[in-house]
């Protein structure tokens, strides 16, 4: 059993929640944030969309976590073998754009991939890491609540990627003050 899931723990959460992080990540079923970070009930305010794409509902949810629940940390969680990133790459390279609302997801991921190409990236891991960095920056740019909290030093945003097979998280970006960090900020991954 994971932490904070017992009867007593649940009873403490009935009246209120006091998470320590807002986690915005991909909705991929293999990327369960509470398990990856070994967190229990009430410890993270979790928001998930395919490809961790940002829309008004995501922004409202993040603002609720930061502005109402007073959470000091936003974590953007991407991962390898992301279907949304793969679909966006396929659309860019082959013109194969999916139908329906999946197209909207692909269109929201595409700008990150174009910027990754501008930076000289060509490996899928680089594209996924760039999308995490871009998502972090987008949360800051589109939300006055988040921007004000970061500027005041009351909140920070960290972008991380998760390797499915290895079960490892790698820090990709930091916005705001989180102390000393070791960031992998985008040196291209070797294709060997």
Class of domain 16-82+130-175: alpha beta
- Give me 30's structure tokens: 């293999």
Q: Name the burial class of residue 38, with classes exposed (0-12), middle (13-18) and buried (19+) by CB atoms within 10 angstroms of its CB.
A: exposed
Question: Which has more confidence, 10 or 47?
Answer: 47
pTM: 0.88
∠176-28-169 over CA atoms, to 5°? 45
**Would you state the structure tokens that stand for residue 1, as one six-digit string?**
């059993």
Q: Give bridge partners of residue 156 from the DSSP assignment.
A: 73
Residue 130: pLDDT band (50, 70, 90) is very high
- 180 annotated ligand binder: no
Residue 79 in marked binding region? yes
Q: Is 155 annotated as a binding residue?
A: no
How far are the Cα atoms of 43, 58, 156, 180, 192 from residue 76, in angstroms, in the given order?
A: 16, 12, 11, 18, 28
Tell me if residue 39 falls in helix, strand or coil. coil
pLDDT digits (tens, 9 = 90+) for 168-191: 999 999 998 876 556 565 544 433
Is 152 labelled a binding residue?
A: no
Question: Exposed (0-12), middle (13-18) or buried (19+): which is 137, by Cβ within 10 Å?
Answer: middle
Q: How confident is the model at residue 190, as a pLDDT? A: 34
Span 80-109, pLDDT tens digits: 999 999 999 999 999 989 999 999 999 999
**Residues of the chain above pLDDT 70, percent:** 90
């Amino acid at each position: 059993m994971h932490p904070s899931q017992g009867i007593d723990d649940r009873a403490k959460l009935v009246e209120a929640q006091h998470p320590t992080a807002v986690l915005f990540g991909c909705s991929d079923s293999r990327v369960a944030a509470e398990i990856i970070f070994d967190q229990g009930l009430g410890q993270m305010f979790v928001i998930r969309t395919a490809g961790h794409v940002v829309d008004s509902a995501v922004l409202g949810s993040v603002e609720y976590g930061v502005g109402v629940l007073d959470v000091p940390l936003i974590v953007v969680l991407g991962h390898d073998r992301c279907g949304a990133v793969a679909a966006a790459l396929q659309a860019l390279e082959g013109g194969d754009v999916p139908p329906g609302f999946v197209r909207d997801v692909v269109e929201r991921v595409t700008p990150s991939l174009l910027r990754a190409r501008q930076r000289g990236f060509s490996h899928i891991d680089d594209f996924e890491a760039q999308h995490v960095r871009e998502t972090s920056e987008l949360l800051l740019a589109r939300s006055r609540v988040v921007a004000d909290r970061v500027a005041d030093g009351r909140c920070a945003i960290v972008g991380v990627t998760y390797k499915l097979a290895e079960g490892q998280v790698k820090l990709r970006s930091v916005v705001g003050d989180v102390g000393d960090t070791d960031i992998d900020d985008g040196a291209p991954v070797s294709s060997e």
